[in-house]
Structure 1
Amino acid sequence: MIWLTWRQFRAQTLAAGGALVLLALYLVYLGNEIRAFYDSRIANCAADACFIARLDLRAEYGDAVLGVGAALIAVPALIGIFWGAPLVTRELEERTDRLAWNQSVTRTRWLAVKLTVIGLASAVLTGLFSLLLTWSASRYDQVIGERFAALSFDSRNIVPIGYGLFAFVLGTVVGMIVRRTIPAMAITLAVFATLQLLVPTMVRQNLMPPVTKTVTVDSSVMNRGVGLNLKQDNTFEIRGYTVPGGWPLEEASPLYKPDGSPYTGDDAKPCLANAGDLADGFACTAAQNLHFEYTYQPANRYWSFQWIELALYVGITALLAGFGFFWLRRRV
């Protein structure tokens, strides 16, 4: 069965391997370019030169890193569409299921070997792609510091392995139920894309309880590019504050005075008189001892989130596979 599976699957394997080799060559080139930029302009920079260098790094390589990351997120979807969905439907549509599932090779054994061999290929393909991209973009990620951003998190380290496994088994099970290749492909893509939108926006941030801390608005906070926004109710909120490497869960936080009451436009009038001098305005605001509540996921939880989400997808994949065996034996 393993040899037969390889014979049937070798064209897809060779095509995927060839694409991965070409991609590896580009990622090695991109990684070396980013490292050269880092060594020449960022490694020993100081003050304003570092700020400008970071902007130039994002401008020069940001689109390339994001583009390759988006391609990696698309790979599991393609695996589900072209490897998973036709796996059973092809046998049913071509009427070869009775020949494939004969007395010496039961349908259960047939499916087990197919899921194991092709599932392993799916994990290896996405894992190698992710490993290459993680290495290539490591200096970029180190400087820009957005590892929790949806596109970055989904395309780095170990999480893509879970996506590849899940998409393949999802396509296989959908194909069993639908029994038609094209509809199965469409449904697989729709389900996988929906899940990839829901998990980063609604599920991931709740995998671990967030941390909330009280931040005092001092000169170090004011000099980190934050902005104060006056709302319609005449109270202020602060925007743009981040903890290095962390994942902020709120775009803005209400600003409070030392007694806990909201900071209002009337309270800000003394500092607005110094608006012509930015440094004096910052110093005036910092002297008012303001504070706000900041809710976030700390940077040291990154790998915990990676392992939890990988385990989540592997668990769902195992449940789908179990359902697939049941459906194949009882319904197909």
Structure 2
Amino acid sequence: MTASRQEQRAQQQEQQEQRAGSGAGERAAGPRTALVTGATSGLGRALALALHRSGWTVLAHGRDRGRLARLAAEAGDSRLVTLTADLASLAEVRSLAERTAARGGPLHVLVNNAAVGFGPPGAGRETSADGHELRMAVNYLAPTLLARLLLPLLAASAPARVVAVGSVGQVPFAVGDLAFAHGYRGVEAYRRSKLALAAGTFDLAEAARPLGVTVNCVHPAGFMDTPMVRESGVAPLSTVADGLRAVLPLVTDPAFADTTGTFFRGTEPGRALDLAYDPRFRRDLAAATDRALRAHMCGSEASDTRTDGSTTDE
């Protein structure tokens, strides 16, 4: 990369961070707080640090305590709070939500960024601590549970936002085959989970709209230069800075304060796979999701709210 190109990227990042500092939720006075999952590397790390530099309080989630400690040291003050959890365990997802709420402060933005990628070429099927297919568990069930559990706190802090980091790489699947037990491929498992995430985003947006919480899904950039992409053996096609340019405005820009239920491709509204908009698919997926998460929703304030906006007394 030439020096002039580096200077241009640095200027763009500075402008983004200035917008972040003046940005999100201008209707609400006072400091802003965001929870960013997967904040120890790649896009999540860049986003956490950009928000912190702009004056936000950042709750930075990660699995690795050492990486979180290094992130906190780089931030250099108490406005970056680290939270450890393995999102492959739904019990730990619930614990993460409980610890977030127990801080006693507001939560204005939840960024569900953490994900498991394709995996190394030829890798076999993996399962989560709860026995779910790993990519569906981490990329869809975990962010869905976290958003549901934190919805009361987000609503109490409204106007608030949920931003799901998705992908245009989606493939159709039958909801009855959520486990993907046969014919497994890591690439397809990832893409199934991203279709589920987009469909779930649209349902959550409908449920959250009356509460003053917007919910959107964004494909930040294609094959960013991140550890997740490099592990899969894919040559990067874009940079983390490219991804940050797409995600940061959805977190901070007042122009998106009322935008909800939208799939973004980069910085522009786009479209998810058609199946993500299909009422029957979404209804079946919501029912399967409820069954998978029910035990971890019990006793929560959000336990009576389904992602499709309906309620249940179970």
Scaled by the length of structure 1, the TM-score of the pair is: 0.24
Which has more helix, going by share of residues?
1
From the CA coordinates, give the structure whose radius of gyration is larger. Answer: 1
Scaled by the length of structure 2, the TM-score of the pair is: 0.25
